[in-house]
Amino acid sequence: MQQPPDGPRYWDPVPHIAAVFDSLPARQLRSAPEYVFCGKWEERNWRNVPGPFYGGMTDTCWVGRQNAPKHILYCDDDEFGGEFLYRQPHTVDELRAVLAGMRDDPWSGWACDGDSQWTPDLVRAWWRDRGRLREWILRKQKEWGSEGLPTDEHEGAGLTDYLAYLDSELAGDLRCYMYFLENGRGPIRDERLPSL
């Protein structure tokens, strides 16, 4: 995440949703946030990274990654293979890609109310369960690699990216997000972050 050295270490995308959504090319259907963000917290996919955005009851149609390949992946829990967010947006450009990907969900199952749902304790619980996530990623990498379908190389790249993020920057991003949840603003340089 590119931030000034003395600036916040967490970028809050929520205040930018309306303006960025308005900047997307017009569409006949699902062209406003109220038609996209109908997802419910109780239906969220457990693979979603904590943050303001998450996928609930979504249907991929294998389109979300076309717009946001560094943020959206597909699960395999049911016949529809819902979408989930594996990296929260850190810039306006990333937010634009994420919103464009979310807009294509035919079930309007995405949500942007995570800040009012997540707590530091829930974020810690999600982090403690990351072994389950790692197992799922490794299993899907083997399955997609062995089936050799044309789309799997693209999807496999997303799994590899999620695993690398899980092993590197994600812990720091979650600590900054927990600080934001506790203080209503992102931490600046040298401020102590909550522990995971």
Query: Residue range 118-128: average pLDDT?
Result: 98
Q: Does residue 111 carry a pLDDT above 90?
A: yes
Q: What is the pTM of this model?
A: 0.89
Beta-carbon contacts of 192 under 8 Å, excluding residues fewer than 6 positions away, are none
Give the type of residue at 173.
Answer: D
- Inside any domain, residue 138: yes
Beta-carbon contacts of 21 under 8 Å, excluding residues fewer than 6 positions away, are 32, 33, 99
Domain that holds residue 76: 14-183
pLDDT band for position 26 (cuts 50, 70, 90): confident
- Inside any domain, residue 151: yes
Q: Does residue 148 carry a pLDDT above 70?
A: no
How many CB atoms are closer than 10 A to CB 89? 24
Distance CA 187, CA 184 (A): 10
Predicted confidence at residue 105, as pLDDT, reads: 83
Domain count across the chain: 1
Predicted confidence at residue 107, as pLDDT, reads: 82
